[in-house]
A and B are shown apart, each in its own frame.
Chain A
Amino acid sequence: MTFLEITEGPLWVLASSVFVLGALWRIIGIIRFGRKPDISIPRASALMGAIKGQFLHFVPHGGFSFRTRYHLVAGYMFHLGLFALLIYAAPHVLFLKENVVGFDWVTMPRWGFILSAEIAFAGLILLWIRRISDPVMIQISDADDHIASWLTFLAMLTGCLALDESHDSLRALHMLSVEIWLIYFPFSRLMHAVTFVFSRGYTGAFFGRRGVVP
């Protein structure tokens, strides 16, 4: 088997399985811890609070500035750029069609792909800079934070290297770095991509029944 065939074959199956099963295991594990029933009389709906909480925390509300502004801008540049190119870039759509979902959808023109990639890179680099230069983030960051951001950067960089789509080795390298990222995902802080719904939900529900969503 060639390197490419391995990364698009057995290694892909392994990585995606670890990713899906690992993430499910962790989420179900978290939910199964359960919460003690709250018998106090609610003032408002906990469910509505949970839903409101999802949206409210997309933007830091409450008049904070500076520190949150940086994260807001750089964070969204990275996330939105990444999602755009993951979901709408032609090579990805083709891959997803052939290996995951079985159907395709509208794709971005190539310049859109490039622009999203540039925005995503800029955001990620800006966030990385913040993590290594800000005293607060230096204090609270651990190995997991750095490994996760470097793996993400590598996956993006190898993708960029393979843009010409004319060398099997480069495509395989990108596949490999993505597979490493997928395997790392459920064991790390990257899980925030899934758990944030629950953390926003729990806070929204807890306070929602008190009549406020902080």
Chain B
Amino acid sequence: MSVSAAIETFVNNIDASAAAYLDSCVHCGQCAQACHFYETTGDVRYTPVWKLEPMRRVYKRHKAPLSGIKKMFGLVPDEVDEDMLKEWEELIYDSCTLCGRCTIVCPMGIDIAGLVRKSREAMVAAGLVPEGLNAAAKRVLEIGRPLGIKPEIMAKIVGEQAEEVGIPIELNKVGVDYMIILSAMEVLNFYEVIGALARIFKQAGVTWTISTEAYEATNVGIQMGDKEIARTLVQRIVDAAEKLQVKYVVSPECGHAYSALNWEGPNLVGKNYDFEVIHILELLDQLVREGRIKTKSELDQRRVTFHDPCQIVRRGGIVDEPRNLLHMVSDNFIEMENYGVANICCGGGGGVSSNSRAEELRIKSFGAKKKQLDAVGPEALVTACGNCRNVLEEAIDEFGMDLPVLGLTELVAEYLDD
């Protein structure tokens, strides 16, 4: 446990934007209301900006302009110490999903979620990471997969799905248009999406493949704040995609994967790719607009609503596409309150669902989402992120609700007119 490593990482991570953020906060506390952890527990320590306290202290003591003069008068904060970092581990990892609702409400436009993410890098340097994330990281480095799904298992699952839908799926095919990567959660729990993709792509006339060298989009390095692991995982995908000479890599129904690959990826590996990255929802929406996907005229009659995955919608910018797709297959799609960019987090993103210590808090934080759902009273809940799906199913179960959770890609495939 190295406090000095943490402090050094904080200092290095504070760039112009972080400094502007830390120097703009006036402690108004509006961010508290945006945070589902605070709203459901009333614990003031979960106020988003409070999670940044270690970073703020390091900044004001070591790096802030004019801190030199203030130090002479003893007007800088005390040095961050071991106790403080230990106390903040829970706040930074358990009670934050990096969902970014706090960023929306802040009158200064401070990207609080982004700074929590930066704080995690310092926590990694200090060696203060929750067990669940550490274990996933270890699996990545040792076995190569966060949830331990080896290539052989992957091939088997793909084979079974191909058989089920009656469409051959070629692995490692060179020169196709699209390479699909999937979230670990999808492969483990919701593998029907593979069959769904096969059907959709067949109708749209899209050539595609899955690489047995890089089929997982989940990037535990991004969630933890470990740049090395993040880079390794992105590099794996880039290598496989460039080897297969694909035009696009399709980022699946996974929250952070799109950001990890498209936005942070090039900066991590140090170069732009030979392929483009596209989100599955973007791709499907594009195919629909090009008329390459046809759906049944008979629409789904269930009263459904859509849960916006934070990293795709609010932090990723893919707001309209899921709605277009849902309207295409559903006759009874009702938006929940605060839909779209301001929607409430499922409670399990940002590594929280891998953190068993945070389970009780995560379930409790679902109370905020539950309020939205109770107001709509849907018969089914649709979403576009494997982790959200899993977390929502678990929470719905805990709260004794009766509400199926559906994946959007699978729903589209269900109503495919083939």
Contact = CB atoms under 8 A, between A and B. Distances in A.
Interface of A: 22, 25-26, 28-36, 38-41, 43-44, 53, 56-58, 60-68, 71, 75, 131, 134-142, 145, 186-187, 189, 191-192, 195-196, 198-204, 206-207, 210-212, 214
A33 B19 contact: yes
A43 B317 contact: yes
B120 interface: no
Interface of B: 14-21, 23-30, 32-34, 38, 42, 44-45, 47, 49-50, 63-66, 69-70, 75, 100-101, 103-111, 114, 262-267, 270-272, 276, 314-317, 319, 337-338, 341-342
Given A57-B107, A136-B44, A212-B316, A189 B26 contact: yes
Given A192-B26, A198-B20, A214 B65 contact: no
Given A22-B66, A60-B105, A140-B27, A40 B342 contact: no
A210 B263 contact: yes
Q: Which secondary structure characterizes the binding site on chain A? A: helix
A71 B103 CA distance: 16
Q: Which 6 pairs between the two chains have the least Cβ-Cβ distance?
A: A29-B65, A62-B342, A212-B317, A200-B109, A211-B317, A202-B17
Contacts of A38: 263, 267
Contacts of B42: 135
A31 B105 contact: no
Central interface residue in B105, B337, B338, by most chain A CB within 10 Å: B105
Given A139-B44, A189-B26, A26 B108 contact: no
Contacts of A32: 16
21 contacts: A26-B23, A26-B64, A28-B65, A29-B66, A30-B16, A30-B65, A38-B263, A38-B267, A44-B317, A57-B109, A60-B105, A71-B30, A139-B44, A140-B29, A140-B47, A187-B70, A195-B108, A203-B111, A206-B114, A210-B317, A214-B104
Contacts of A44: 317
Contact of A26 (B30, B66, B103, B271): B66
A203 B24 CA distance: 12
B20 A63 contact: no
B21 A199 contact: yes
Given A61-B342, A136-B44, A141 B27 contact: yes
B50 A139 contact: yes
A61 B270 CA distance: 36
A66 B18 CA distance: 28
A145 B108 contact: no
A186 B50 contact: no
Given A31-B16, A38-B267, A62-B104, 8 more contacts: A33-B15, A34-B16, A140-B44, A187-B70, A201-B109, A206-B111, A212-B314, A214-B341
A67 B29 contact: yes
Contacts of B319: 212
Given A57-B107, A186-B66, A187-B66, A145 B317 contact: no
A140 B265 CA distance: 35
Contacts of A61: 104, 342
Given A33-B19, A210-B316, A212-B341, A39 B24 contact: no
A202 B107 contact: no
Given A68-B30, A203-B103, A30 B109 contact: no
A185 to B, nearest CB: 11
B272 A214 contact: no
A201 B49 CA distance: 19
Given A25-B66, A57-B108, A214-B314, A67 B103 contact: no
B110 to A, nearest CB: 5
B101 A35 contact: no
B15 A36 contact: yes
Contacts of B18: 33
